[in-house]
A and B are shown apart, each in its own frame.
Chain A
Amino acid sequence: MNNSLKSSVPTDREVILGILNNSEDTLNKLYKAYYAMVLQFILNNNGDEDDAKDVYQEAIIVLYNKIKEGNFELSSKLKTYIYSVCRRIWLKKLSHNSKKAGNITDYEDVLIVEEDVEEHEQKDLQFVKMQSALDHLGEPCKTIIQDFYIHNLSMQDICEKFGYTNTDNAKTQKYKCLQRLKKIFFQP
């Protein structure tokens, strides 16, 4: 497993170009390339597989957004960057859960990535807010909104999926849902 993962490690340049071009294959390779490293780090520092997954995905998202923003400068190996971000996120989680974080076992070099992680957390607040607003919305509103805005289904598809008699009815339903969602979302 480990070997097959290592053999498909993409070069750092490949990763950046791939992400800029929305290549799923590159994302796939990137994800598989460094997962083991992060899993090892988390497992050896009071975490389990699920923690590793969360932390790793968060780090990948940080990297992904940074590349997409176009201001990512490769000043080190991607591996080191990902490791550093994961380490920072995991340290925060540990101290948040008031778990023992004094003695971190390191496996790689560490960069200073505080700023990137802070920035990501700011964005993540919005994400969490929207997620909880959607969760409070209830069915079928949640699914209609998700289908329309996230999965980009047309009103026609939604109309058929939910069995509305015509698209106008579906539209009215969608706007009702949207209104409630906005209300919840903008709640202080």
Chain B
Amino acid sequence: MRNDLELDAIIEDYLLGKLNPQETEAFETLRRNDASVDHKVVSHKFFLESMETFAAQSRLKDQLNSIHAEIDVETLASTLRPHPSKVIQLWRKHKSAIAVAASFLVLSLVSVYSIQHNTKQKEQLVLLSNQVNRAIKTQNSLIRKINNSATPAGKPVVQNSIGGTGFAISTNGYILTNYHIINGADSLYVQNSKGESFKVKATYTDPQNDIAILKISDKNFANLSSIPYTIKRNTSSIGEMVYTLGYPKDDAVLGEGYVSSKNGFVGDTTQYQVAIAVNPGNSGGPVLDNDGNLVGIISGKPDQTEGAAFAVKSKYILEAMRAIPQDSLGRNKLSANKKSGLSGLKRTKQIEKIQDYVFMIKAFN
């Protein structure tokens, strides 16, 4: 027993490196010669290692416990304990998810609202017919009576008149204008640039494309000379320079601009949008390009946008003309095949040439 204890002491000192060199050597010889001593050394080494880790762990645990003692567990626990209310439990558990969902909801509400708001701003189409009140109308007719003896006297007293523009599509008195000008009219008159009025009748109407064809049925009307402009077959490109001649007042007014969009009101593919400042009375006016090709007919404008107008595309003019018996249009009719007589002319010359073919339309009802 005594020897065992001494051996243990020596082994421990040996392992901890406390023996002096001679002792170490003596012990190592003993260890080599005696297997049981060697076994004891190995097991004690393992034990000491275990003890060391145990000691380290214990010290760490003590440290943690002392830190733990500083924390006010009770108060903390009471705030973190599962709340009796299911709602609050859910809230704690899904705090972040709820936050994300809520912000998403707000975002979508905002975007839906703004989309709706935008749609509300959609523009309204204002048809450019000119509602003339009775007083002005009477004055105008008085002037005309004085200036123009050819006008038949004793015209019926009418309540209202609507003014617009039209243009000749044949030399024998066919005039094309907007359907909305003549819609609902009892009697129709056209007035040329010289101030002469002729009675006309509507021979064809196309409410869909807002086109109407009128025929002068007045014995005072003398045939026109050949029509200077032609119809443009192709669609016009954006940016093409165009102009129109119309009657927003009693004299012809020139408006110049360019094709600004291939589609008209809310994407209407039957129309162009043109950047020409137009006014009530311009409706039905011809839109011509620099070479005197008929690009379209002014028909309306957006009520919120200044300086823009819509024009019915020229191919619908051709369609409308096909609806008229070809014989009655005569030989000198508007066509797409002939070369325009305006090509290469200055704008002033062009206007001079076409002003006889552009008429003021007066619809009485």
Q: Confirm or deny: B269 has a beta carbon within 8 angstroms of a beta carbon on chain A.
A: no
Q: Are B8 and A43 closer than 8 Å at their CB atoms?
A: no
Interface residues contributed by chain B, number (CB under 8 Å): 38
What residues of A have a CB within 8 angstroms of the CB of B80 in the complex? Answer: 36, 39-40, 43-44
What residues of B have a CB within 8 angstroms of the CB of A130 in the complex? Answer: 50-51, 54
What residues of A have a CB within 8 angstroms of the CB of B64 in the complex? Answer: 27, 31, 57, 60-61
> In chain B between 155 and 194, which residues have their CB closer than 8 angstroms to a CB of chain A?
none
CB distance from B246 to the nearest CB of A (A): 73
Q: Is chain A's binding surface mostly helix, strand, loop or mixed?
A: helix
Partner of B8, one of A60, A64, A126, A175: A175
Report the bound CA distance from A57 to B71 in whole Å: 13
Report the bound CA distance from A32 to B66 in whole Å: 12
What residues of A have a CB within 8 angstroms of the CB of B89 in the complex? Answer: 44
CB distance from B165 to the nearest CB of A (A): 74
> In chain A between 105 and 119, which residues have their CB closer than 8 angstroms to a CB of chain B?
105-107
Q: Are A127 and B77 closer than 8 Å at their CB atoms?
A: no
Q: Confirm or deny: A182 has a beta carbon within 8 angstroms of a beta carbon on chain B.
A: yes
Interface residues contributed by chain A, number (CB under 8 Å): 39
For B44, give the chain A residue with the smallest CB separation: A182
Q: Confirm or deny: B4 has a beta carbon within 8 angstroms of a beta carbon on chain A.
A: yes
Q: Are B5 and A176 closer than 8 Å at their CB atoms?
A: yes
What residues of A have a CB within 8 angstroms of the CB of B60 in the complex? Answer: 61, 64
CB distance from B67 to the nearest CB of A (A): 5
CB distance from B336 to the nearest CB of A (A): 73
Q: Confirm or deny: B36 has a beta carbon within 8 angstroms of a beta carbon on chain A.
A: no
CB distance from B265 to the nearest CB of A (A): 56
Q: Are B77 and A32 closer than 8 Å at their CB atoms?
A: no
What residues of B have a CB within 8 angstroms of the CB of A49 in the complex? Answer: 73, 77
CB distance from A30 to the nearest CB of B (A): 9
CB distance from A33 to the nearest CB of B (A): 11
Q: Are A126 and B47 closer than 8 Å at their CB atoms?
A: no
Q: Confirm or deny: B120 has a beta carbon within 8 angstroms of a beta carbon on chain A.
A: no
Q: Are B47 and A28 closer than 8 Å at their CB atoms?
A: no
Q: Confirm or deny: B61 has a beta carbon within 8 angstroms of a beta carbon on chain A.
A: yes
CB distance from B38 to the nearest CB of A (A): 16
Report the bound CA distance from A112 to B343 in whole Å: 83
Q: Are B93 and A105 closer than 8 Å at their CB atoms?
A: yes
Q: Are A28 and B77 closer than 8 Å at their CB atoms?
A: no
Given contacts A64-B60, A129-B50, A130-B50, 18 further A-B contacts (CB under 8 A): A27-B64, A28-B67, A28-B70, A31-B68, A35-B76, A40-B80, A43-B77, A49-B77, A53-B73, A61-B57, A61-B61, A105-B93, A106-B93, A126-B53, A171-B9, A179-B5, A182-B47, A185-B50
Pull 17 A–B residue pairs with CB atoms less than 8 Å apart, ordered by A. A1-B75, A27-B67, A39-B73, A39-B80, A43-B77, A49-B73, A61-B60, A61-B64, A105-B93, A107-B92, A127-B53, A130-B51, A149-B52, A171-B9, A176-B5, A185-B47, A186-B47
Top 7 closest pairs, chain A to chain B, by CB = A40-B80, A130-B54, A150-B55, A31-B67, A175-B5, A57-B64, A44-B82
